[in-house]
C-alpha cells in the first residue's frame, strides 16, 4: 500500500523566532509572581496537620506541583522515543514541540532543589522517614529496614541521577533531530531508532524509581510495585493534554498552520483517551489486588482515601479523571473539533493535578502518639479516619501555578530554530497523515 506524501508549503512559517523567548519571559513572570505569593501566604499562615513547621504545607504543595511539570516532560520524552522505536510517521509534524517539552528537564530538576536542599539541610516535616521519630523501633518496626534507602543524603544522590538521566535522554534525541535538519542525513533516523530501545529501558527504570522515591515514600510504610506504572499513565494523560494546548498555541501565532491539521489533533486526542483508560486500569489493578489481599500494611493507604472527607475526592477522581472524559472522548468528533479537544485537555490537566494531590496530601496530616510518657510523631495515615481532613489551602494552587510557570520557562528555552524536523524522511508522510 502506498503512503501519501506532501511537502511543506513555501509560505509555511516554521521558525520559532521570538516565540521561545516570549514564552520564557511569561513563564518566569508567572513563576516569580505565584511562588512569591505562595511564600507570603505561608509566612502569614500557621502550622497545621500535626507538623511543627508552617512550611510543611508549602513543601507538600511544592512536591505536587513539581511532580506535575515533571510528569508532562516524562510523557513527551516517552512519545519521542516510541516514535523513533516504531518508525512512526504521524508525530513527526509535532515532534519538535514534544522535544522542546521534554527539554525542560534541566530547569525542572533545578526547580526541584527547592524541596531537596531543605531535606538535606535537616528539614523534617516533609517526608516522615526524615523525621527522628521514624527511627523509633516500638512504633515503626515495619519501617526501619527501609531507612537506609530512605535517607536524605541518599535521596539527594538519586535525585541528581534522575535529573542527569532524564536530561541526557531528552538532550540526545533533540540534538540528533536538529543535526538532521542541518545535514539531511537519513541514517540519523536509523541511529535514533536503534538508540531508543535501550533508552526506553533506562527511561522505564528512572520513571519507576523516581515515582517510588518522590511520591510513594510520602507513605513510607506502604508499597506498591505498580505505582510507577500508574504514575506514568497519569503523566501521559497530562502530557498529551498539554501537547494539544501548546500545539494549538503555536499555531495561533501563525506558525505551522498547514503542517499540523485536524488529523494530528485527532491522534493526540486518541492518545489522551487511551491513557485515560490505562490510568484507570492500573489504578484499579493496584486497588483490587491490595484490597483483596486485605493486608493492613497495604490497605491502610486506601482506608484513608475511602472513608472520611477524602472519599469525596476519590469519587471526584473516579468520575472526573476517568468516567466523564472516557465517555466523551470515545467520539471521533470530540477529538477533531478543536474547542471540544481544548475543553477536555484543560479538564484532564486539572484532574491530573488532582490525581497527584490525592496521592500526596492524605499523608500530610501526621498523628502524635505518647509512648512511655514521651511525645512521638506517629507519622502519616494513622489515627481515626474521621479526623483525617482534606484541609485545602490556597497555597496548593498558587504553588502549582508558579511551577507551571517554571515549565513554560523551560519549554520556551527549547523553542528555537525550526519548529518541525524539516529533513526527517518521515515528514512528507506526516504532512499527508490521515486518521483511518
Q: What is the pLDDT of residue 141?
A: 80
Say if residue 191 is exposed, middle or buried (CB neighbours under 10 Å; 0-12, 13-18, 19+): middle
- Whole-angstrom distance, CA of residue 188 vs CA of residue 179: 8
DSSP assignment of 348-404, as one string? HHHHHHHHHHHHHGGGT-EEEEEETTEEEEEEES-S-GGG------HHHHHHHHHHH
Of residues 92, 66, 67, 175, the one with CA closest to residue 414: 175
Q: What is the pLDDT of residue 378?
A: 86
* 138 located within any domain: yes
Terminal C-alpha separation, the chain? 14
* 7 located within any domain: no
Contact (CB, 8 A) for 48 and 382: no
Q: What is the pLDDT of residue 436?
A: 61
What's this model's pTM, rounded to 2 decimal places?
0.96
* 306 located within any domain: yes
Of residues 202, 177, 180, 185, the one with CA closest to residue 91: 177
Q: What is the pLDDT of residue 3?
A: 62
Q: What is the pLDDT of residue 47?
A: 75
Q: What is the pLDDT of residue 1?
A: 37
* Structural domains counted in the chain: 1
Interstrand relation of 366-371 and 374-380 (parallel, antiparallel or unpaired):
antiparallel
* Residue 132 structural domain: 19-431
* 327 located within any domain: yes
* Grid coordinates of 89: 510517521
| pLDDT digits (tens), the chain, 436 positions | 346 788 898 899 999 999 999 999 999 999 999 999 999 999 998 877 878 788 999 999 999 999 999 999 999 999 999 999 999 999 999 999 999 999 999 999 999 999 999 999 999 999 999 999 988 877 788 888 899 999 999 999 999 999 999 999 999 999 999 999 999 999 999 999 999 999 999 999 999 999 999 999 999 999 999 999 999 999 999 999 999 999 999 999 999 999 999 999 999 999 999 999 999 999 999 999 998 888 888 899 999 999 989 999 999 999 999 999 999 999 999 999 999 999 999 999 999 999 999 999 999 999 887 767 778 888 899 888 888 889 899 999 999 999 999 999 999 999 999 999 999 999 999 999 877 6
With residues binned 3-state (H G I as helix, E B as strand, rest as coil), the percentages for the chain, rounded to 5, are: 70, 5, 25
The cell 513543601 sits on which residue?
59
Amino acid at each position: 500500500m502506498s503512503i501519501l506524501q506532501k511537502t511543506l508549503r513555501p509560505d509555511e512559517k516554521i521558525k520559532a523566532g521570538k516565540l521561545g523567548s516570549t514564552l520564557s519571559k511569561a513563564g518566569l513572570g508567572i513563576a516569580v509572581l505565584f511562588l512569591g505569593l505562595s511564600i507570603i501566604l505561608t509566612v502569614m499562615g500557621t502550622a497545621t496537620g500535626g507538623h511543627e513547621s508552617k512550611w510543611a504545607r508549602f513543601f507538600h504543595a511544592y512536591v505536587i506541583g513539581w511532580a506535575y511539570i515533571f510528569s508532562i516532560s516524562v510523557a513527551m520524552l516517552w512519545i519521542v522515543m516510541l516514535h523513533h522505536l516504531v518508525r512512526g510517521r504521524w508525530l513527526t509534524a509535532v515532534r519538535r514541540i514534544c522535544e522542546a517539552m521534554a527539554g525542560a528537564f534541566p530547569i525542572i530538576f533545578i526547580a526541584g532543589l527547592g524541596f531537596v536542599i531543605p531535606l538535606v539541610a535537616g528539614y523534617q516535616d516533609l517526608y516522615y522517614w526524615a523525621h527522628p521519630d521514624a527511627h523509633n523501633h516500638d512504633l515503626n518496626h515495619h519501617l526501619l529496614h527501609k531507612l537506609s534507602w530512605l535517607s536524605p543524603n541518599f535521596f539527594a544522590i538519586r535525585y541528581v541521577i534522575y535529573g542527569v538521566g532524564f536530561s541526557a535522554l531528552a538532550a540526545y534525541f533533540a540534538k540528533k533531530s536538529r543535526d538532521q535538519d542541518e545535514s539531511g542525513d537519513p541514517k540519523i533516523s536509523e541511529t535514533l531508532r536503534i538508540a531508543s530501545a535501550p533508552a526506553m529501558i533506562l527511561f522505564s527504570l528512572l520513571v519507576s524509581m523516581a515515582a517510588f522515591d518522590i511520591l510513594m515514600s510520602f507513605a513510607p510504610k506502604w508499597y506498591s510495585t505498580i505505582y510507577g506504572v500508574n504514575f506514568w499513565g497519569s503523566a501521559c494523560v497530562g502530557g498529551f493534554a498539554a501537547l494539544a494546548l501548546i500545539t494549538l498555541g503555536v499555531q495561533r501565532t501563525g506558525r505551522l498552520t498547514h503542517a499540523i491539521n485536524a488529523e494530528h489533533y485527532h491522534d493526540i486526542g486518541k492518545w489522551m483517551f487511551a491513557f485515560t483508560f490505562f490510568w484507570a486500569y492500573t489504578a484499579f489493578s493496584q486497588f483490587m489486588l491490595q484490597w483483596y489481599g486485605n493486608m493492613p500494611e497495604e490497605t491502610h493507604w486506601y482506608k484513608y482515601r475511602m472513608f472520611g472527607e477524602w472519599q469525596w475526592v476519590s469519587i471526584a477522581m473516579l468520575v472526573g479523571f476517568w468516567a466523564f472524559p472516557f465517555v466523551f472522548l470515545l467520539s471521533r468528533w470530540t477529538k477533531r473539533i478543536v474547542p471540544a479537544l481544548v475543553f477536555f485537555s484543560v479538564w484532564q490537566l486539572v484532574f491530573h493535578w488532582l490525581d497527584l494531590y490525592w496521592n500526596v496530601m492524605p499523608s500530610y496530616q501526621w498523628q502524635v502518639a505518647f509512648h512511655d510518657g514521651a511525645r512521638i510523631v506517629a507519622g502519616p495515615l494513622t489515627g481515626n479516619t474521621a479526623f483525617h481532613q482534606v484541609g485545602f489551602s490556597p497555597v496548593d494552587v498558587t504553588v502549582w501555578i508558579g511551577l507551571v510557570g517554571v515549565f513554560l520557562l523551560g519549554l520556551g528555552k527549547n523553542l528555537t530554530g525550526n519548529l518541525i524536523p524539516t529533513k526527517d524522511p518521515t515528514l512528507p508522510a506526516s504532512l499527508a497523515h490521515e486518521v483511518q
